[in-house]
Amino acid sequence: MKKQIISAVMALALVLTGCSQGKKDDRAERTQYKANIKVGTVEKAGDLLTVEGEEEITFKNYSKDTWDSIVLRDYNPSNLAEEKANEDGGYHTAITGITQDGKDVMFHEEQDPSIVTATLANAVKPGKTGKVTVKFSLKIPKGSCRQSYSFVDKNSEKPEDIVIALGPFLPTLPVYENGGWAKGDYFPYGECFYTKCSDYDVHMEVPEGFEACATGTDKHNDDGSYDFKATNVRDFSVMTGKNLGVFEENVEGVSVKVWYYGNNEEVKKAAKETMLPASVNSIKIYNDYFGKYAYEDLDVVLCSYAFGGMESPAFVRINDDYAIQSEDMTEEQREHHMIETIVHEIGHEWFYSAVGNDQYNEAWLDEAFATLASMIYYEKAGDASHDPASTGSMWKNTWKQSGSLKVDLPYSEYEKAGTMEFPAEFRYTCTVYSGGASFLYELRKTMGEDDFKALVQEWYSSNQNKEVTTKQFLELVVKKAGKEKVNGLLNTYFSKENIPA
Ligand SMILES: [Zn+2]
């Protein structure tokens, strides 16, 4: 299991990389997901846990093409493969049936099993609305990947003490652009997620006595079930288990909730004394620097996770190893990694969640900005141990050592460049996170603080709830800073086709 942080460079690799409730109500334009799901349990540690569900997806064809077929992203088979928990060693779709207007819809998974193509019974013309009903049965492995369960006490592994964390798990429509559906391959070291802001209405049955937190507002019903509603978000995440604890603080109109589980005093202390202040301060600092946080609430969720953390709209996961004593990390190291992960993942609420991008093809657009956000956090929080100049040169050196690849490439290019010495995930992380952040750091130096801050504020405010491209960002940079001033920088870090003429 890829759990512990080995070096500063790898630390970046381990901080994985989240969406927004907008103010303007254009519900008919957004895809509506209405789901009924039932979360199962296990007899013994190691069993696959089942999550059964049915989801009604109402979508508008926003393109100029007639949709004879649609693509659904179903990450469960890839997740099983990642955790090496495929029962039969092969891939299998989690989707068990799709219907449209009462008719069965033929569907098949592509070579990447997370890509499911469904041939519609009735084509949906541009501007028209379609509706499909998808039945699915997810197999959730024990482990620490995006869809997994673990135990309150990892040593005893009592089935009644399971905690289930589900990252993106509902079948969703990826973005349709340039005549096709986004089909970035699933890979464990980063994200291939690319969706439009949508609305979720999820009814969830949980095992008896279980509590749950999820994206959006929640209603805990008398029968123990939950109803979650989220508006204008790119995906939907959940954590459920017994004895969930929560610390809450309202900051600048945002309800920040830090969730943990179990009755471990050490974990509770970390949630209260480290996680809550770091989360609240992130909101304050980023509100001021980037623009107002896009949602009404934020769940910061401590749970088992193989990487440092994972972003999701108004919901971030933080690796619980940072809260529990171990031989691998000192208390100081754990606190350091916890804060670094929290401020990075919360940075994604601005970049990925609110301002969306294709995380497979242009990951730098969210990862580099979230990495930069952590520098802004430490700077504004007055943390002298994170000197911006040393951080800036560390980013540049990391990027150079990994081969100075352009930062705006799809994951497949970093994969091709991978060698035994510098594997693909290393190239990807050092380029996209460190290289991208190095560019932003240099740009800040070149433009000066006031102009740079104005630039990122304009970027954020004009693109909230939209999807952006590298080309658009560089056009704004050139418009604001002048081509001459930034030409050298752009050529150093970006592919020619993205640099404005
Ligand atoms: Zn990230």
Task: Give CA–CA dist 190/201, Å, rounded.
Answer: 27
At residue 277 the predicted structure's pLDDT band, cuts being 50, 70 and 90, is very high
Residue 415 in tokens: 């994969």
Q: For the domain 356-498, what is the CATH superfamily, name and number?
A: Neutral Protease Domain 2 (1.10.390.10)
Length of the chain: 501
Q: Which of 492, 350, 390, 372 is nearest to 444 (CA)?
A: 372
| SS3 at position 393 | helix
Residues 45/213, Cβ–Cβ less than 8 Å:
no
Give the Cα-Cα-Cα angle 202, 206, 208 (nearest 5 degrees): 150
Give the Cα-Cα-Cα angle 68, 71, 74 (nearest 5 degrees): 155
The conformation of residue 1, written as its DSSP 8-state character, comes to: -
pLDDT digits (tens, 9 = 90+) for 436-458: 999 999 999 999 999 999 999 99
Give residue 92's pLDDT. 72
- Is the confidence at residue 394, as pLDDT, over 50? yes
Q: Which of 93, 96, 260, 78 is nearest to 165 (CA)?
A: 260
Rounded to 5 degrees, φ, ψ at 191 are -110, 150
- Expressed in angstroms and rounded, the spacing between residue 316 Cα and the centre of ligand 1 is 11
Give residue 427's pLDDT. 96
- Expressed in angstroms and rounded, the spacing between residue 5 Cα and the centre of ligand 1 is 15
- Expressed in angstroms and rounded, the spacing between residue 339 Cα and the centre of ligand 1 is 14
Residues 21/94, Cβ–Cβ less than 8 Å:
no
- Expressed in angstroms and rounded, the spacing between residue 249 Cα and the centre of ligand 1 is 24
Mean pLDDT computed over 226-253: 97
Residues 345/316, Cβ–Cβ less than 8 Å:
yes
- Which residues have a Cβ under 8 Å from the Cβ of 177 and sit 6 or more positions away? 63, 467
Between 89 and 179, residue with greater pLDDT: 179
The pairing of beta strand 226-233 with beta strand 198-205 = antiparallel
- Is the confidence at residue 3, as pLDDT, over 90? no
Burial (CB count within 10 angstroms: exposed 0-12, middle 13-18, buried 19+), residue 60 = middle
Rg (CA), the chain: 22
| SS3 at position 175 | coil
pLDDT digits (tens, 9 = 90+) for 145-157: 999 999 998 888 9
Q: How far is CA 204 from CA 76, 220, 476, in A?
A: 18, 10, 43
HSE (side-chain half, CA atoms, 13 Å) at 37: 29
- Expressed in angstroms and rounded, the spacing between residue 342 Cα and the centre of ligand 1 is 10
Residues 321/3, Cβ–Cβ less than 8 Å:
yes
- Expressed in angstroms and rounded, the spacing between residue 126 Cα and the centre of ligand 1 is 35
- Expressed in angstroms and rounded, the spacing between residue 347 Cα and the centre of ligand 1 is 8
Task: Give CA–CA dist 199/216, Å, rounded.
Answer: 10
Task: Give CA–CA dist 283/272, Å, rounded.
Answer: 16
- Expressed in angstroms and rounded, the spacing between residue 222 Cα and the centre of ligand 1 is 38
Q: What percent of the chain has pLDDT over 90?
A: 86
- Expressed in angstroms and rounded, the spacing between residue 485 Cα and the centre of ligand 1 is 29
- Expressed in angstroms and rounded, the spacing between residue 415 Cα and the centre of ligand 1 is 18
Asked, colleague to colleague, whether 8-347 and 356-498 share their fold, the answer is: no
- Expressed in angstroms and rounded, the spacing between residue 155 Cα and the centre of ligand 1 is 30
- Expressed in angstroms and rounded, the spacing between residue 431 Cα and the centre of ligand 1 is 13
- Expressed in angstroms and rounded, the spacing between residue 78 Cα and the centre of ligand 1 is 20
The pairing of beta strand 356-357 with beta strand 467-468 = parallel
pLDDT digits (tens, 9 = 90+) for 420-430: 989 999 999 99
Task: Give CA–CA dist 337/331, Å, rounded.
Answer: 10
- Expressed in angstroms and rounded, the spacing between residue 444 Cα and the centre of ligand 1 is 20
Give residue 18's pLDDT. 35
- Expressed in angstroms and rounded, the spacing between residue 309 Cα and the centre of ligand 1 is 8
Give residue 227's pLDDT. 98
- Expressed in angstroms and rounded, the spacing between residue 368 Cα and the centre of ligand 1 is 8
- Which residues have a Cβ under 8 Å from the Cβ of 359 and sit 6 or more positions away? 17, 184, 190, 191, 192, 193, 194, 352, 366
- Is the confidence at residue 251, as pLDDT, over 60? yes
Q: How far is CA 222 from the centre of its chain?
A: 32
- Expressed in angstroms and rounded, the spacing between residue 247 Cα and the centre of ligand 1 is 24
Residues 66/126, Cβ–Cβ less than 8 Å:
yes
Task: Give CA–CA dist 214/188, Å, rounded.
Answer: 22
DSSP labels, 95-117: EEEEEETTEE-EEEE-SSTTEEE
- Expressed in angstroms and rounded, the spacing between residue 13 Cα and the centre of ligand 1 is 9
Give the Cα-Cα-Cα angle 288, 446, 349 (nearest 5 degrees): 35
Residue 124's DSSP bridge partners are: 67
Task: Give CA–CA dist 388/45, Å, rounded.
Answer: 45
- Expressed in angstroms and rounded, the spacing between residue 205 Cα and the centre of ligand 1 is 31
The three state secondary structure string of 319-367 is: EHHHHCCCCCCCHHHHHHHHHHHHHHHHHCCCECCCEEECCCCCCHHHH
- Expressed in angstroms and rounded, the spacing between residue 191 Cα and the centre of ligand 1 is 9
pLDDT digits (tens, 9 = 90+) for 18-62: 334 444 568 889 999 999 999 999 999 999 999 999 999 999 999
- Expressed in angstroms and rounded, the spacing between residue 40 Cα and the centre of ligand 1 is 30
pLDDT digits (tens, 9 = 90+) for 279-337: 999 999 999 999 999 999 999 999 989 899 999 999 999 999 999 888 889 999 999 99
- Expressed in angstroms and rounded, the spacing between residue 158 Cα and the centre of ligand 1 is 32
- Expressed in angstroms and rounded, the spacing between residue 9 Cα and the centre of ligand 1 is 14
Residue 298's DSSP bridge partners are: 256
- Expressed in angstroms and rounded, the spacing between residue 35 Cα and the centre of ligand 1 is 28
Q: Which CATH number fits domain 8-347: 1.10.645.10, 1.10.10.60, 3.30.470.20, 2.60.40.1730?
A: 2.60.40.1730
- Expressed in angstroms and rounded, the spacing between residue 271 Cα and the centre of ligand 1 is 21
Q: How far is CA 18 from the centre of its chain?
A: 3
- Which residues have a Cβ under 8 Å from the Cβ of 251 and sit 6 or more positions away? 280, 283, 284
Rounded to 5 degrees, φ, ψ at 180 are -160, 170
- Expressed in angstroms and rounded, the spacing between residue 174 Cα and the centre of ligand 1 is 20
Q: What residue ranges do the domains of the chain occupy?
A: 8-347, 356-498
Give residue 359's pLDDT. 97
- Expressed in angstroms and rounded, the spacing between residue 36 Cα and the centre of ligand 1 is 30
- Expressed in angstroms and rounded, the spacing between residue 16 Cα and the centre of ligand 1 is 4
Give residue 7's pLDDT. 43
Looking at every residue in the chain, the average pLDDT score rounds to 92
- Expressed in angstroms and rounded, the spacing between residue 314 Cα and the centre of ligand 1 is 14
- Expressed in angstroms and rounded, the spacing between residue 49 Cα and the centre of ligand 1 is 28
